[in-house]
């Protein structure tokens, strides 16, 4: 069951690059303080999607109960979620 008030929630989410789908129909939830290991293909796409660095094809991402489309830059900063890519 997906809890709308978890730290991060993805509902029926799809995203990819140049029209090629990488994530399709993803349902994902992470609670505050929970440690998650993401294995397999699509890890970078998943994290880039959560951080709004990749346009979505379908679905919704919520952080702290708010949809990403409605989060201000200040609220995003207060969410204390960061992304550090490997180079």
What pLDDT digit, counting tens, does each position of 34-77 carry?
Answer: 888 888 878 888 888 887 788 888 999 888 787 877 667 777 67
Every domain of the chain and the residues it spans: 8-78
Which pair of structure tokens corresponds to residue 83? Answer: 């992304």
CB 87 within 8 A of CB 71: no
CB 60 within 8 A of CB 13: yes
63 closest CA partner among 77, 84, 43: 77
Whole-angstrom CA distances from 72 to 1, 45, 63, 69 are 28, 22, 12, 9
pTM: 0.71
- Say how far apart CA 31 and CA 49 lie, in whole Å: 18
pLDDT of residue 70: 64
Report whether pLDDT(1) > 60: no
């Amino acid at each position: 069951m997906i809890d709308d008030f978890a730290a991060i929630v993805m509902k029926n989410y799809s995203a990819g690059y140049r029209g090629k789908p990488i994530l399709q129909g993803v349902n994902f939830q992470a609670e505050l303080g929970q440690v998650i290991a993401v294995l397999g293909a699509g890890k970078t796409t998943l994290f880039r999607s959560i951080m709004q660095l990749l346009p979505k094809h379908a679905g919704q991402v919520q952080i702290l109960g708010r949809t990403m489309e409605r989060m201000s830059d200040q609220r995003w900063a207060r969410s204390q979620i960061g992304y550090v890519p490997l180079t």
